[in-house]
Structure 1
Amino acid sequence: MDSEKVVNMVPKMKMSKSFITFGLVIVLLVILALDAFVIVNAGQRGIVLQLGAVRPIVLTEGLHFKIPFVQSVVPMEVRVQKSQSEQTAASKDLQIVTTTVAVNFHLDPIQVNKLYQNVGLSYGERIVDPAIGEAVKAITAQYTAEELISKRSEVSAKIKETLASKLATYYMVLDEINITEFKFSQEFNNAIEQKQIAEQQALKANLDLQRIEIEAKQKVEQAKAEAESLRLQKQEVTPELVQLREIEAKIKAIEKWDGKLPNVTGGAVPFIDVNSGQ
């Protein structure tokens, strides 16, 4: 009886093992199928590693096939990235300048595999930030502190040119650079303020001097005009004009007289020749 049970159990055990084996095969196939495909998202590129070695191909956006368990894909961002930092440097006149710089850059989509192979994923700390600092210091040293302010666009253009060359060595492209702020020492700021005050005072003094000169010229011209007027009047005086002025004066005196003689005695009574007006 026991032997019969054992005989009956053998086929069942074989079936169970076959079912388990079939299940394992299915699971393995599913895993292989899932690991055989990779999706590269928008704005990224895929770096293909085959047993740890970087392959000379770059996967673009979309679905791609890879060898399961042999190849792996590392995604890398190729969109525009931003790096902002403060860089302290010395100007041409040895003033300490702290420059706030904002840099926009992106990785070269075609050669990101070389960047990954030579630098890795920490390219910002290893390459971008040091390159920004070196470019800012190199260009800042070519200008005085005042020129850094007055020639800001020119300084920015030179920093951009220098930084673009450095980043291109590591397969990165510089898009834009913006100098958001220049900071100087308090002593330099005070010196600039005093210089502006002196320039304003000098300008005011110059304007006052010009005003005084203009007023003096106006007075001279006015005196010349008055002298010329008197000269012309003097030329026009004739005996007939003198006699006319005397007659006009006598007429005004008669018009003002009220017909009464003065009450003061001891003096001569004024005589008015009425017929002389006829």
Structure 2
Amino acid sequence: MKNLQLGSLQSTIIGAILAILVLLGLNSFIIINPGQAGVISILGKATDGAFLEGIHLKPPFISVVDVYDLTVQKFEVPAESSTKDLQTLTARFAINFRLDPIQVVQVRRTQGTLENIVAKIIAPQTQESFKIAAARRTVEEAITRRSELKDDFDAALGQRLDKYGIIVSDTSVIDLTFSPEFAKAVEEKQIAEQRAQRAVYIAREAEQEAQADINRAKGRSEAQRLLAETLKAQGGQLVLQKESIEAWKSGGAQMPKVLIVGSDSKSNVPFLLNLGDMQN
């Protein structure tokens, strides 16, 4: 009976020792997956050097490993600023960023969690960077030259976040709005420009019409001059007589059967014309 109790006690002790060894083993290493980095803290103090992907040993029970995601993160951050012409401009940015694995220990010491990084670092620095970019241009330039606004914003934000161990991969402007007063001013300006363009078109049209009238008047004057010269020249009277007959014919009036013209003393030969033959 005594031997059975002794054997049972030994089994219990061995089982406890094995359980302790297993527990120690489980708490003596950690596995870091690809795209992650671990920061180990021993007795509440972060140690230098981050754990990158792979298996790592750590002191059991007295150490904690904080794992950070090194892949690209995306957060939307609102921002508001005044432009060079003192107009209010609001925007919403999508910030794609990742943590620098070399500085992840410093990030753990100064900022802690990823939520703190967004709230304490990225959001305020986004606001300041937007103020820098917006203050360099008017609200109209910010809207019509959005790509230039984004370039200035990216440069300012990247420079500010780099010292915190945050690498900006890309940014995009999700929304860009301005005050209702400016929207009304833009609409009025567009209407005024359209009216001005219409006035210029009407003025050009009137100028072209006036020039056409001048050209037609010059043409009539030249025709009258040539006709006068023709009538003054020898044989001009015959031209006048022919035009009179053609006008008579085209007018449809009753024409005389015989017409004699040029019987005055200035005509060399009387002009006798049987109009009845012409009608036949």
Shorter chain as normaliser: what TM range? Answer: 0.7 to 0.9
Q: Corresponding residue for 2:64?
A: 72
Q: Corresponding residue for 1:199?
A: 193
Runs of 4+ in 1 over 6 A off after TM superposition: 250-253, 256-259, 270-273
Unaligned runs of 5+ in 2: 262-270, 275-280
What CA deviation, in whole Å up to 9, does each residue of 1:55-109 have, x standing for no partner? Answer: 2111112322323223332110111111212222222222222112221111102
Other structure's SS at 1:94 match: coil
Q: Corresponding residue for 1:243?
A: 238
Mapped contact 1:83–1:129 kept (Cα < 8 A):
no
Residues in 2 aligned to 1:183 and 1:150: alpha-carbon distance in whole angstroms: 12
**For 2:103, which of 108, 111, 128 is the aligned residue?**
111
TM-score, length of structure 2 as denominator length: 0.82
Residues in 2 aligned to 1:19 and 1:136: alpha-carbon distance in whole angstroms: 70
Map of 1:189-228 to 2, 5 A cutoff? Answer: 189-228=183-222
Q: Corresponding residue for 2:47?
A: 55
Are 1:41 and 2:33 matched, yes or no?
Answer: yes
Residues in 2 aligned to 1:45 and 1:249: alpha-carbon distance in whole angstroms: 111
Residues in 2 aligned to 1:236 and 1:28: alpha-carbon distance in whole angstroms: 134
Aligned-CA RMSD value: 2.8
Residues in 2 aligned to 1:183 and 1:247: alpha-carbon distance in whole angstroms: 81
Q: Corresponding residue for 1:157?
A: 151
For residues 20 and 197 of structure 1, do their structure 2 counterparts lie closer, same or farther at Cα, with a shift above 3 Å needed? same
Residues in 2 aligned to 1:76 and 1:208: alpha-carbon distance in whole angstroms: 69
What CA deviation, in whole Å up to 9, does each residue of 1:155-195 have, x standing for no partner? Answer: 21111111112111211111222223221221221111111
Report the CA distance between 1:223 and its aligned residue: 1.4
Are 1:85 and 2:77 matched, yes or no?
Answer: yes
Q: Which amino acid aligns with 1:62?
A: G
Q: Corresponding residue for 1:16?
A: 8
Report the CA distance between 1:245 and its aligned residue: 5.0
For residues 206 and 20 of structure 1, do their structure 2 counterparts lie closer, same or farther at Cα, with a shift above 3 Å needed? same
Q: Corresponding residue for 1:263?
A: none
Unaligned runs of 5+ in 1: 1-8, 260-269
Report the CA distance between 1:36 and its aligned residue: 2.2
Count of residue correspondences: 259
Between 1:197-206 and 1:175-184, the stretch displaced more is 175-184
Between 1:237-246 and 1:188-197, the stretch displaced more is 237-246
Identity of aligned residues (%): 31
Residues in 2 aligned to 1:197 and 1:247: alpha-carbon distance in whole angstroms: 62
Residues in 2 aligned to 1:110 and 1:271: alpha-carbon distance in whole angstroms: 120
Report the CA distance between 1:212 and its aligned residue: 0.9
